């Protein structure tokens, strides 16, 4: 798992990572890294205390100005004793091997290793692990595993995709003078662009494109913040060069990787949130353990439901099957989006309450979901008020970043076993809540789900087209009003979750049958909206 800060490292370890990778800002290909050297030492000690590994990154492509820094950096690294050093530049690899031969060397994905021959080359140089390029297909990976049995292989399974070859990007340098291979990528591929057409005689007209008139035009891109600055874009027989890749998610194909014996599964995202780190680590930890426990009946469905709660650009298998499809790109929308958001974190546990730090705006009526690092069950709690942790003041709203600490008394968990509650919700437990979204955002999520089903070989192009057109329509309307997926205060009816503190669900006679059904389900499990033979008001709204 990625660790962009000491807190993220600890969360990754607690939520199930076997190893974390991190770096300091100067030479790690992450200029926004929040680690000081002292925190690196503390992080390594913390991980080792839990029997986990820590890999440091030294994966920049060096310029002359970087070389003078290497001796001090390597001498410092060898003192903190990481479990591996991730390197991309052959010159840096050679220097570290000579300067600190005791350090285990890993080859970064930035080295673009995509063949068994390249893996053998790095193995001969002394590498103990190769992080393969994202462009490697599963068939290629299988062959690499067969031909290279004596070196550890690591492959990406989750996170953002780069539109260039494993990060070898010129676009950021060209448009923002920020070197992607020096850790300062401006993510120019994510910016909003608009295509313009211009006749070759210099005049502009709006004309429908046909095979007869196509050669009369130039196609030009205009970036949102650079009006009037037109950049030519060309198209060949493979189609247009679309810049916005969806996010990689191999979860539905994870059993393929485990079956052939891939040693390490890597998640992108040192710049992502603590909530991202916790949920992704938890989902893959459970998925891996469950596959080893019973590979024959393993299914990715439950874990995918978890991964859909974190912001993403829509998921894709990317190059797993060998070739990208049109569903690997986000043609309509570039934003990361999820139906849930980071609500807070348990900072400490008192004798009678949890002390929580709010991370986003929380309002009376919000359902907070505790996502513990251990165990499979989450715990739902509807909050009608917030008790300030320091002053005891009762508030109806908590804003993240502005004195956001509040108490959650154990007494509110009236449907939970209080004798085990402290053990189930330790410090650093992450909380989430459902987001209210615009109609455009809801339509984006529906389209993402339709494309994921289609990429998996199910669904239909008709359903995809219907949801795509619905998104385009809502984009044209641009309604900014927010809509919640389920009721909040309860006046609109019960949401069917059976949350602690929901007086309507637990005391209204009309929900008696629903309470019986809920008792048979796991905590937090929703009712089936398609249940038959049950009155609608007794199942769920």
Q: What is the pLDDT of residue 116?
A: 98
Report the phi/psi class of residue 128: left, alpha or beta, with left for phi > 0 and alpha for psi in -120 to 50: alpha
Tell me what percent of the residues of the chain surpass a pLDDT of 90: 53
In this predicted structure, the answer to whether residue 505 has a pLDDT above a threshold of 80 is no
Mean pLDDT, rounded, for 473-485: 85
In this predicted structure, the answer to whether residue 208 has a pLDDT above a threshold of 70 is no
Superfamily of domain 6-159+249-325: Aldolase class I (3.20.20.70)
Name beta bridge partners: 86: 57, 106
In this predicted structure, the answer to whether residue 523 has a pLDDT above a threshold of 60 is no
pLDDT tens-digit readout, 379-391: 999 888 999 999 9
Task: Give the CA angle between residues 482, 483, 485 to the nearest 5°.
Answer: 145
Q: What are the φ and ψ backbone dihedral angles of 408, each rounded to 5 degrees?
A: -120, 95
Taking alpha carbons only, the member of 7, 39, 90 closest to residue 56 is 39
For residues 451 and 331, give the distance between their C-alpha atoms in angstroms, rounded to a whole number. Answer: 12
Taking alpha carbons only, the member of 187, 173, 185, 157 closest to residue 336 is 187
| Dihedral (CA of 161, 265, 267, 373) sign | positive
In this predicted structure, the answer to whether residue 306 has a pLDDT above a threshold of 80 is yes
pLDDT band at 183 (very low <50, low <70, confident <90, very high): low
Across the chain, how many H-helices and E-strands are there? 17, 24
H-helix or E-strand containing 281? helix 274-293
- The number of residues making up the chain comes to 541
In this predicted structure, the answer to whether residue 540 has a pLDDT above a threshold of 50 is no
Mean pLDDT, rounded, for 343-369: 94
Specify the 3-state DSSP secondary structure of 454. helix
Q: What is the pLDDT of residue 526?
A: 58
Question: What does pLDDT average to over the chain?
Answer: 85
H-helix or E-strand containing 98? helix 90-99
Q: Going by C-beta distance under 8 Å and a sequence separation of 6 or more, which residues neighbour residue 402?
A: none
pLDDT band at 531 (very low <50, low <70, confident <90, very high): very low
| E strand segments, 276-429 | 315-316, 340-349, 353-358, 362-363, 367-371, 379-382, 386-388, 394-395, 397-398, 405-409
* DSSP for residue 337: B
Mean pLDDT, rounded, for 245-273: 94
pLDDT tens-digit readout, 29-78: 455 567 888 888 899 999 999 999 999 998 888 889 889 889 988 998 88
Taking alpha carbons only, the member of 179, 151, 147, 149 closest to residue 164 is 179
Chain-centroid distance of CA 370 in Å reads 19
pLDDT band at 393 (very low <50, low <70, confident <90, very high): very high
For residues 383 and 379, give the distance between their C-alpha atoms in angstroms, rounded to a whole number. Answer: 13
Q: What is the DSSP string of 419-449?
A: HHHHHHS-TT-EEEEEPPB-HHHHHHHHHHH
Show the tokens assigned to 488.
């909040």
Query: Within a 10 A sphere around the Cβ of 48, how many other Cβ atoms?
Result: 15
Superfamily of domain 339-436+484-541: Translation factors (2.40.30.10)
Give start-end residues of each CATH 3.20.20.70 domain in the chain. Answer: 6-159+249-325
Give start-end residues of each CATH 2.40.30.10 domain in the chain. Answer: 339-436+484-541
Q: What is the pLDDT of residue 132?
A: 96
Mean pLDDT, rounded, for 498-523: 76
Q: What is the pLDDT of residue 236?
A: 45
In this predicted structure, the answer to whether residue 203 has a pLDDT above a threshold of 80 is no
Q: What is the pLDDT of residue 215?
A: 74
Mean pLDDT, rounded, for 443-464: 91
Name beta bridge partners: 223: 193
Q: Are strands 247-249 and 315-316 parallel, antiparallel or unpaired?
A: parallel
Q: Which of 149-158, 172-181, 502-511 has the lowest mean pLDDT?
A: 172-181
pLDDT tens-digit readout, 398-422: 998 888 999 999 999 988 888 899 9
Name beta bridge partners: 82: none
Query: Within a 10 A sphere around the Cβ of 179, how many other Cβ atoms?
Result: 19
In this predicted structure, the answer to whether residue 375 has a pLDDT above a threshold of 50 is yes
Q: Are strands 19-22 and 53-58 parallel, antiparallel or unpaired?
A: parallel
In this predicted structure, the answer to whether residue 324 has a pLDDT above a threshold of 60 is yes
Rg (CA), the chain: 25
Q: Is residue 166 a contact partner of residue 110, using CB atoms and an 8 Å limit?
A: yes
Specify the 3-state DSSP secondary structure of 34. coil
Specify the 3-state DSSP secondary structure of 438. coil
Mean pLDDT, rounded, for 277-293: 97
pLDDT band at 361 (very low <50, low <70, confident <90, very high): very high
Q: Are strands 405-409 and 353-358 parallel, antiparallel or unpaired?
A: antiparallel
In this predicted structure, the answer to whether residue 392 has a pLDDT above a threshold of 90 is yes
Show the tokens assigned to 229.
């600055």
């Amino acid at each position: 798992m990625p660790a962009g800060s000491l807190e993220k490292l600890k969360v990754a370890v607690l939520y199930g990572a076997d190893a974390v990778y991190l770096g300091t800002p100067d030479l790690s290909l992450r200029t926004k890294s929040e680690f000081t050297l002292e925190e690196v030492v503390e992080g390594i000690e913390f991980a080792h205390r839990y029997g986990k590994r820590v890999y440091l990154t030294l994966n920049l492509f060096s310029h002359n100005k970087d070389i003078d820094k290497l001796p001090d950096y390597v001498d410092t690294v060898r003192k903190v004793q990481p479990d591996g050093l991730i390197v991309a530049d052959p010159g840096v690899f050679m220097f570290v091997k000579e300067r600190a031969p005791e350090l285990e060397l890993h080859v970064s994905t930035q080295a673009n290793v995509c063949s068994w021959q390249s893996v053998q080359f790095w193995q001969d140089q002394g590498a103990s692990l190769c992080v393969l390029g994202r462009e490697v297909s599963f068939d290629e990976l299988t062959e690499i595993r067969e031909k290279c049995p004596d070196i550890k292989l690591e492959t990406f399974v989750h996170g953002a995709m780069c539109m260039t070859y494993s990060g070898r990007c010129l676009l950021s340098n060209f448009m923002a003078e920020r070197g992607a291979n020096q850790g300062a990528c401006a993510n120019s591929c994510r910016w909003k662009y608009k295509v313009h057409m211009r006749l070759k005689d210099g005049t502009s007209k709006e004309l429908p494109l046909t095979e007869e008139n196509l050669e009369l035009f130039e196609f030009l891109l205009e970036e949102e913040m650079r009006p009037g600055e037109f950049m030519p874009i060309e198209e060949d027989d493979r189609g247009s060069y679309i810049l916005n890749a969806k996010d990689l998610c191999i979860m539905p194909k994870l059993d393929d990787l485990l079956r052939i014996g891939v040693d390490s599964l890597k998640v992108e995202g040192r710049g992502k949130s603590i909530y991202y780190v916790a949920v992704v680590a938890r989902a893959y930890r459970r998925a891996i353990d469950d596959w080893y426990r019973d590979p024959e009946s393993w299914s990715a469905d439950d874990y995918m439901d978890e991964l859909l709660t974190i912001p993403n650009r829509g998921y894709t298998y990317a190059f797993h099957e060998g070739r990208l499809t049109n569903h690997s790109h986000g043609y309509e929308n570039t934003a990361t989006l999820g139906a849930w958001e980071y609500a807070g974190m348990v900072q400490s546990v008192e004798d009678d309450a949890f002390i929580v730090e709010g991370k986003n705006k929380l309002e009376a009526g919000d359902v907070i979901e505790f996502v513990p690092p251990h165990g499979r069950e989450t715990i739902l709690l509807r909050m009608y008020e917030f008790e300030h942790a320091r002053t005891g003041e009762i508030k109806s709203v908590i804003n993240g970043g502005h004195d956001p600490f509040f108490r959650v008394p154990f007494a509110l968990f009236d449907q939970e076993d209080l004798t085990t509650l402290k053990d189930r919700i330790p410090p650093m437990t992450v909380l989430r809540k459902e987001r209210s979204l615009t109609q455009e955002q809801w339509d984006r999520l529906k389209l993402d789900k339709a494309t994921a089903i289609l990429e998996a070989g199910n669904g239909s192009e008709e359903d995809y087209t219907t949801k795509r057109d619905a998104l385009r329509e809502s984009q044209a309307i641009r309604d900014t009003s927010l809509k919640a997926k389920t009721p909040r205060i309860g006046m609109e009816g019960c949401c069917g979750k059976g949350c602690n503190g929901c007086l309507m669900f637990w005391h209204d006679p009309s929900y008696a049958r629903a309470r019986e059904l809920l008792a048979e389900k796991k905590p937090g499990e929703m009712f089936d909206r398609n249940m038959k033979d049950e009155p609608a008001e007794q199942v769920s709204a």
